[in-house]
Structure 1
Amino acid sequence: MSKIPCPHCGSLVDAAPPPPPSPRFLVDEESLVDALVVDSEGYICGRVHGARYEEDEVYIDVYKYVEQRFTGPDYERLKAELLKTLPWRPWRPRSERELEERVRRELRLPPTAPITERELCEYAKLKGLPIPTKVYEHRDRKVVYSLSLKQVETIGVSGLGACVLLKEPIEATRLNIQPSSKVPFKSTEQVKGKLTIDAAGRILGRAQKVLLGETLILRVDLEDYVVRKVPDVDLLLSRYYSELRDSGSRRPYVNVEQLVEWARREGVEVPYREERRLEKVGELDVRWSDIRKIGDVILLSRRLEELRQPKP
């Protein structure tokens, strides 16, 4: 251990080693899954699919939902067209069961063979009928980025979930958006509803409005999930109708307030259940100079604790 002179007496004393630096972020793997991933310009890259470990590096795979459209057989219309080919009898309407029996007979299938969409198409081709088509839309999860932990600036966790902030403008580059050094003034219409994230990567809530004064102010609705006890309507309604059935009364429509009032009037214990709701828990006024970037989300340049401290 090295020696340094004492500032009071001049004698050499042991120098204590400096404490190790605090990590920029610490988060468990479970919290990381489905975390929002935002680049340095405030543009959303996607959400975390999971962490991937290699010999000397850890990667975060980021996914997006990709809309896919493709054309395929319209089986409902096909079935309707095939039903029209059956003989019409005034005393017995055409039925799907009759159609299936005919398909088995024409395709020489066993009597108990299931008739699927494939058999319907084969039967239509056998009869020379066109197969109607329709456009199908499908959302598919696709990994779009594989990011090293070295590319991560910080990871924050709040009641609204986890957020990964990146050091680089990855998504902005993909969108051909040039990084800007200054945050331009924007109206309430341009920012309202955008997620707002502090410098620690914590999702605070959503932008509410822009206030005009000596300096522009962004008012943010702070949000969190709050557990509330609410009347268990299904259980209470069951008890209410049971009472009516025993008394022989009809079943009128009642709302929640009427149900609770009936229960209290009749001395029936009101059952409650817990419900998790996203609620506004406060407001935060942010000076425009404390806004770091505005993209898909709003990135702040300071932590929530610092933003709450009044400026001199």
Structure 2
Amino acid sequence: MSTPMFTDLSRRNLLKGTGVALGSLLLGNALLTGCSSPGGGPAGAGAKGATPLSMQLGWLLNSGQMGEAIALQKGYYDDIGLQFKIKQGGPSIDGIALVAAGESQIGQISSSPSLMLARSQGIPIKAFGVGVQEHPYAWISKSDSPIESPDDLIGKTVGGPATSEILFKAFLAANKIDPEKVEYVATGDTIAPLLTGQVDAFGTWLNSKSQRRELGEDFVSMPLAKFGVPLYAYIYYTTDEVLEKNPEIVEHYMEATAKGWTYVRDNIDEAAKAMVQMSPEVKLDDIKDDGGALMDYIFSADTKTDGWGTMKKEVWQTQIDLWDELGQFNSAPPKVEDVATWQILDATADVRPKAS
């Protein structure tokens, strides 16, 4: 079977030596609590006696954490008794390994395959909610040479980050396209190869408007979700141990965060400013554009019915089946109940706002 592609570090090695390996990583992993609360103190500082809760990211702060940023600024976590902090990820940090080792109680990853693969390797984590219902990843092409259907890829060259190759393989498999008839080139994150004609299509997140600013809106897209690959994005997860021993802190987190994201939905400008306060290195215009575009993927018919953060068992099963077909699991594929739990969603059903 092929080697899973969604790992930053060897999780098995990290988990064998958590005392030294994880400790050295965390020395450079700043706790992000820099937003100013209405009372003037640091947001997330928490009231006296508040319960500490940290969330480990799989990557750097971006528009996918706007809900948390506004919830920190508005004091939603403080109100519910949480002293909440975010730990950034990055290219040399394996967030899943850190959460599994107990360095943070919860985590967030950008795409669901990472969690499925980790669980198949015996790492005791489960998704308890989904931030983005419809994965925004797509292959885009210029409108003067459009690629409008999977069959149009035959004989073409497709580019994108190296880690997205497995997404492309899944896309081809779901649409019965022979991978030998399409060339994939790892071009990195820049859209330049598409603009210069080096590739015919380019893989990107459709909400990343800042990344394709040079292209503007003059392009054709083939989204994963609309062509047989219904992945989830910005997945929230925790360990089996936390779910068993301290589920209430996860429930409180979901309640406050759902409130934050619902506020963001109608107040993008304010939320973007909260993100910049939290992480001054991000650009206000980029966060505002990307965050605004992300709302279309976060709020859906499902969230209108079941509330922010909901997820479906059948969608998880489709993902597991497809990744198994691609030979991505080094052992037996995990079951849906292994990779996801509805325990937290059920407990917070009445407090997670329903919106579309």
Structure-2-length-normalised TM-score:
0.20
Structure-1-length-normalised TM-score:
0.22
Which structure dedicates a bigger proportion of its chain to strand? 1
The one of the two structures with greater contact order (alpha-carbon pairs below 8 A, sep at least 6) is 2
Which structure dedicates a bigger proportion of its chain to helix? 2
The structure whose Rg is larger is 1
